[in-house]
Amino acid sequence: MISIDLSGRTAFVSGSTQGIGLAIARRLAEAGARVAVNGRSAAKVQTAIDALAGAGVPADRLLPAAGDLTAEDGLASALKAAGDVDILVNNLGVFGAQPALEIPDSEWQRFWDTNVLTAVRLIRALLPGMTARGWGRVLNIASDSAVVIPEEMVHYGATKSALLAVSRGFAKDAAGSGVTVNSVIAGPTHTEGVEEFVYQLVDRDLPWEEAQREFMRSHRPQSLLHRLIEPEEIANLVVYLSSPLASATTGGAVRVDGGYVDSILP
């Protein structure tokens, strides 16, 4: 039996008050890690922590780390609350559909600042401590859109492609240190935000199950699952990659995409 024990490790999960980030925070804490839960506001962070504790996660494994990571002071306060971090999960991201030729510079910049630069800043802040201690894990949550660029989200896809390069570059920087750096290519995933996105593209009068099927059939036909992935399915891979069991996996882009990317390579 494979057993993952992250006791004694501290994880920081950006954007972890809902969706994939919340699921990752829960799974890491269930594996024994102390998890810094991050969101823009202290109220949202506390609501997430209360929900995790209500689901059976020991309260002493949950650290509130509120702060807007796109702002220097917000990033500093969040990291101060977290302390020494052994596992960094860069999950924070924004997405949305818009015709490619109508996306203004301001949206391109907002997506870049949120999806890419927050990850770079957190890695710069935390990687030196990991390498000094001789152990660490950095995971950047990318997307199938990094490889299969969607025309209605070209700006999102471009930022996720950039995360693959960021992961590979910092993995080289951490070479031989005991720290691994990887990206996780998540496929179309069922979150509240994605439900809203789905209804931007299909008939809003459809019940959710029908809307999901229509979305997958019309807009994500490459999926071999023919359904959206649940956040816990992404989190399970993240926990494995965060563990000592994944010590030989670094510099990679590991897929949990439901077979969406049409490739025989990871």
Q: Active-site residue numbers?
A: 156
Tell me how far apart the alpha carbons of residues 152 and 216 are, in angstroms, rounded to a whole number.
15
Digit-by-digit pLDDT tens for the chain (266 residues) are 689 999 999 999 999 999 999 999 999 999 999 999 999 999 999 999 999 999 999 999 999 999 999 999 999 999 999 999 999 999 999 999 899 999 999 999 999 999 999 999 999 999 999 999 999 999 999 999 999 999 989 999 999 999 999 999 999 999 999 999 999 999 999 998 889 989 999 999 999 999 999 999 999 899 999 999 999 999 999 999 999 999 999 999 999 999 999 999 87
Q: What is the DSSP letter of 115?
A: I
Residue 265 confidence (pLDDT): 85
CB atoms near residue 133 (< 10 Å): 13
Tell me how far apart the alpha carbons of residues 144 and 121 are, in angstroms, rounded to a whole number.
23
Residue 2 confidence (pLDDT): 80
Give the type of residue at 112.
W
Residue 172 confidence (pLDDT): 98
Residue 14 confidence (pLDDT): 98
Q: Coil, strand or helix: which one is 182?
A: strand
Residue 231 to residues 102, 130, 135, 200: CA-CA distances in angstroms? 31, 27, 27, 21
Q: Which long-range contacts (CB under 8 A, 24 or more apart) does 144-150 make?
A: 144/185, 144/186, 144/187, 144/188, 144/257, 144/260, 144/261, 146/183, 146/185, 146/253, 147/185, 147/261, 147/263, 148/222, 148/260, 148/261, 148/262, 150/219
Tell me how far apart the alpha carbons of residues 198 and 214 are, in angstroms, rounded to a whole number.
9
Pairing of strands 136-143, 10-13: unpaired
Helix (H) or strand (E) holding 153: none
Residue 1 confidence (pLDDT): 63
Question: Counting beta carbons within 10 angstroms of the beta carbon of residue 43, is it exposed (0 to 12), middle (13 to 18) or buried (19 or more)?
Answer: exposed
Residue 134 confidence (pLDDT): 98
Q: Coil, strand or helix: which one is 254?
A: strand
CB atoms near residue 150 (< 10 Å): 16
Residue 194 confidence (pLDDT): 87
Torsion of CA 205, 210, 216, 217, to 10 degrees: -100
Residue 255 confidence (pLDDT): 97
Tell me how far apart the alpha carbons of residues 195 and 19 are, in angstroms, rounded to a whole number.
11
Half-sphere exposure (Cβ direction) of 232: Cα atoms closer than 13 Å: 3
Half-sphere exposure (Cβ direction) of 51: Cα atoms closer than 13 Å: 15
Residue-range domains of the chain with CATH: 10-187+230-247 (3.40.50.720), 190-228 (no CATH)
Cα-to-chain-centroid distance, residue 15 = 8
